[in-house]
Amino acid sequence: MDNSVILTIIDLIGKKKTNSIIDRGFLDEAIKLNEEDILSCLKKYKEVDNEFDIPSLEEIKASIEDSVKVLLESEKLGIKATNIFNEDFPSKLKDIKDRSILIFYRGDLNCLYEKNSIAIIGTRTPTEKGEQIGEALGYYYAKEGFVIVSGLANGCDTAGHRGCLKANGKTVATLPCGLDKCYPNDNNDLADEIVESGGCLISEYKIGTNPSSKNFIERDRLQAALSLGVLVVECAIECGTMHTVRFAEAYNKKVAVSLHKDVEKDIDTVKGNLYLLEQKRAIGLKDINDYKKYKNILLGYKIYC
């Protein structure tokens, strides 16, 4: 199905209702996929959702024109798109309850098909040791053949991406904004390096979209969905990283936390590590032997202690 049609419907009624329309099979009945077809689909949806406000034909036409323009402008910037109806849409993103419908990407989409992937995430303000550990973890798991997934944020995310690149590995960054932007701005060069090294930048948001609190949470679920496990370098008890942890738990992914020496200090940005361990919600990783054990757990190997 044409990306402009999916983008049009999302813009008109939002992701949640678009998913509902897809689940009920209304979009399957659209053949030409012009404004009349879309209006027909939305009218049928109205039959099962009385509170749904059907947009006018003029609104649909204007939205289609805008969607086509967005996709053309995206292509000029090297940004491609794919939707849930296409064969190249990553199964990891549609096999979750709150699935993606349309993603924009820059780089090699094949990275999202790789089975062996791990999210390395954490606070934007890590300790010096935490930053070193984050880079070391990115390097280690990349050398072990894992795609490294993170969010391109300052701190732990940046360290994980850079460690992966030093190992000549491939890394995926999930962004809370359109791919014509980089958040944060000072990671523009890192974003380009990720793409040039065979990695991928992805977003559910069209060009021109700015970051928002809601977008950060939504992109956190993509990190969990794309990974076999989520590894927290450092985090506070209440922080954005915990969103990714909760998504990982909902998706039955194994969570791990780094237990390097700074974690024992009375620092707010590392207290989350011990909290997750004490709550028995995560596996603690102290050294290379623990890294290997966690790797084997993610790969489904039996561990004999």
CA distances in angstroms from 235 to 5, 94, 206, listed in the order given:
40, 28, 30
What is the model's pLDDT at position 34? 85
What's the mean pLDDT in 221-231? 98
pLDDT number for residue 114: 96
Q: Tell me: the pLDDT tens digits for 95-147? A: 998 999 999 999 999 999 999 999 999 999 999 999 999 999 999 999 999 99
**Does position 256 have pLDDT exceeding 90, yes or no?**
yes
| pLDDT for 303 beyond 80 | no
Q: In the prediction, which pLDDT does 263 show?
A: 86
Is the separation of the CB atoms in 73 and 65 below 8 Å? no
Given a contact cutoff of 8 angstroms between Cβ atoms, the answer to whether 162 and 102 are in contact is: no
Which among 140, 174, 136 is positioned nearest to 156, based on CA atoms? 136
Q: Model confidence at 250, in pLDDT bands (50, 70, 90)? A: very high
Q: How far apart are CA 282 and CA 242, in angstroms?
A: 12
pLDDT more than 70, % of the chain: 97
CA–CA gap between residue 209 and residue 179 (Å, rounded):
9
Q: How far apart are CA 144 and CA 176, in angstroms?
A: 28
Q: Judge whether residue 204 has pLDDT over 70.
A: yes
User: pLDDT category, 32, cuts 50, 70, 90?
Assistant: low
Q: What is the reported pTM?
A: 0.94
- Banded model confidence at residue 48, pLDDT cuts 50, 70, 90: confident
Mean pLDDT computed over 30-50: 83
Angle value at C-alpha 254, between 249 and 258, nearest 5 degrees: 110
Helix-then-strand count for the chain, H and E: 12, 9
Closest CA to 286 of 277, 297, 299, 298: 277
Q: What is the share, in percent, of the chain residues with pLDDT greater than 90?
A: 84
Per-residue pLDDT at 30: 52
Q: Work out the mean pLDDT of the chain and round it to a whole number.
A: 94
Angle between the N-to-C axes of helices 35-46 and 57-76, in degrees from 0 to 180, rounded to the nearest 10: 120
| Confidence at residue 305, expressed as pLDDT on a 0 to 100 scale | 34
* Strand ranges, E, within the chain: 80-83, 102-107, 117-121, 147-150, 171-174, 200-203, 229-232, 254-258, 283-285
Report the CATH architecture of 109-298: 3-Layer(aba) Sandwich (3.40)
pLDDT confidence band for 251 (50 / 70 / 90): very high
Top pLDDT among 44 and 230 is at 230
pLDDT at 69 over 70: yes
pLDDT of residue 304: 37
Q: For position 245, what pLDDT does the model report? A: 98
Per-residue pLDDT tens over the stretch 142-158: 999 999 999 999 999 99
Is residue 115 classed as helix, strand or coil in its secondary structure? coil
Instruction: State residue 26's pLDDT score.
Output: 79
- Within 10 A of 242 (CB to CB), how many other CB atoms are there? 17
Instruction: Name the burial class of residue 130, with classes exposed (0-12), middle (13-18) and buried (19+) by CB atoms within 10 angstroms of its CB.
Output: buried
Examine the pLDDT at 31 and tell me if it is beyond 70: no
